[in-house]
Amino acid sequence: MVQAAGARRGGRLKRLSRIGWALILGGCIQASSTKEAPVPTRRSPPFLILHDCFGDNPAPTPSYIRDHRNFLESQPFDGLAVYLRKPDLTSNVSAAVLGRQPVSAASMIDVLAPLRGLALENLTENFAAVVGGCPPDFVEDWSAPIANFSRLARAARETGLRGVLIDNESYGTPWANYPRGVLFKSKPLREYQDQARLRGRQVMEAMVSEFPGITVILLHGPYLSEPTAPAPLFPAWQSSNELLGPFFAGFVEGAGALATVVDGGELYHLRTEEQFRMSFEWRKRVFPSAGLDCAFVPAALRVPWEARVSVGFGIIDRPFHGQRMDPGILATTLARALGRTDGYVWLYVEGPTFLRPHDQGGASDEWVEAVRGVHRRGS
């Protein structure tokens, strides 16, 4: 969860599992080069992505997906957030990419190897998952994470993934909190905003250079840093996440003509048709407008913003901040999100996993059918 200044607001929205930090500095494993996999043919949106990596076992790693392909293809999803970890824990790429140390291309290729040549028919919108760990301060040297994202984009393209999904919360350190989390507290906010935007642009340009048509989903959009974001539609998170919005804006700057940047909309409290409509309209059109005049969105970026940014929504399968959840509520909430999104909705799972059948500890038929009833792909 994003945090309010001076206090936690009900715990994290997404709590990292123990595997998330097992090997932040994951080892480098040599692997031989293989033939590049074609990117699956794109179907028409909306797309529903399963983000189900909360528990230690199972995790949607490349090897798990390969070994359980038939069951996963039967589930009502268009794709998976793929957790890039070796089964023996010798390498955890997802947790290391947004960090201070280089992650070798060989280790990425080796982790993704089980997906090469795996012809998935229903799960065509798969994304390499990255966790917002412990990056350098925005004014420090970012050559390692920039190069890591470049190598990851190439590995994703060669494996046939659609792109990269970035959980852009400050988990390991408060790297997006100004001034508490920055190295040089005497520097003004505007200087840090500009530097955060620069780093976002450099990361996105590095990925686009290797994968021009990449789709990058950032689970939180720039609303996290905009002081005028209307409450309660957008909770008051701006006082501790001042630099996530500028970082996101940099991705939009660096996207180019072919890439897509997705504002993932991790706004788990949304329920009604009107809430989804208002959230979409504000993020799509009001936020980048000259009338709002966001301090970290340059004037030159406001006009192309609507075309470059795809607005999505995140849904959680658990009660959230006083909002109930059950299979019926999940079905109506997903239907409203899928009916409003530009392209992507993602379901984050903290209850029984959708990666296993019910008789093996997975979600019950009632929960699975709640999803299938509103999104029949994969049936």
Convert the pLDDT of each residue in 264-281 to its tens digit: 999 999 999 999 999 999
pLDDT of residue 41: 67
Q: Provide the pLDDT confidence category of residue 311 given band limits of 50, 70 and 90.
A: very high
Q: Give per-residue pLDDT as tens, 198-241.
A: 999 999 999 999 999 999 999 999 999 999 999 999 998 888 89
Spelled out in words, what is the top-level CATH class assigned to the domain 18-372?
A: alpha beta
Amino acid letter for position 195: Q
Peptide bond into 327 cis (omega under 30): no
User: In b/e form, how buried is each residue of 336-346, taking b as 16+ CB within 10 angstroms?
Assistant: bbbebbbbbbb
Element spanning 260, H or E: strand 260-263
Q: What is the CA radius of gyration of the chain?
A: 19
pLDDT of residue 25: 31
How far is the C-alpha of 101 from the C-alpha of 368, rounded, in Å? 40
pLDDT of residue 43: 77
Cα dihedral 209/213/217/222 (nearest 10): 70
Mean pLDDT of the chain, nearest integer: 89
Quick one: 99 exposed, middle or buried, by C-beta within 10 A (0-12, 13-18, 19+)?
Answer: buried
pLDDT of residue 238: 81
Domain extent listing, the chain: 18-372
Q: Give per-residue pLDDT as tens, 77-108.
A: 999 999 999 988 889 999 999 999 999 999 99
Write down the pTM of the prediction.
0.91
**CA 181 to the chain's CA centroid:** 22
Quick one: which of 223, 273, 266 has its CA closest to 248?
Answer: 223
pLDDT of residue 172: 83
Q: Which two tokens stand for residue 26?
A: 């994951």
pLDDT at 318 over 90: yes
Q: Which two tokens stand for residue 336?
A: 């409203």
Residue 316 bridge partners (DSSP): 348
Contact between 340 and 331 (Cβ < 8 Å): no
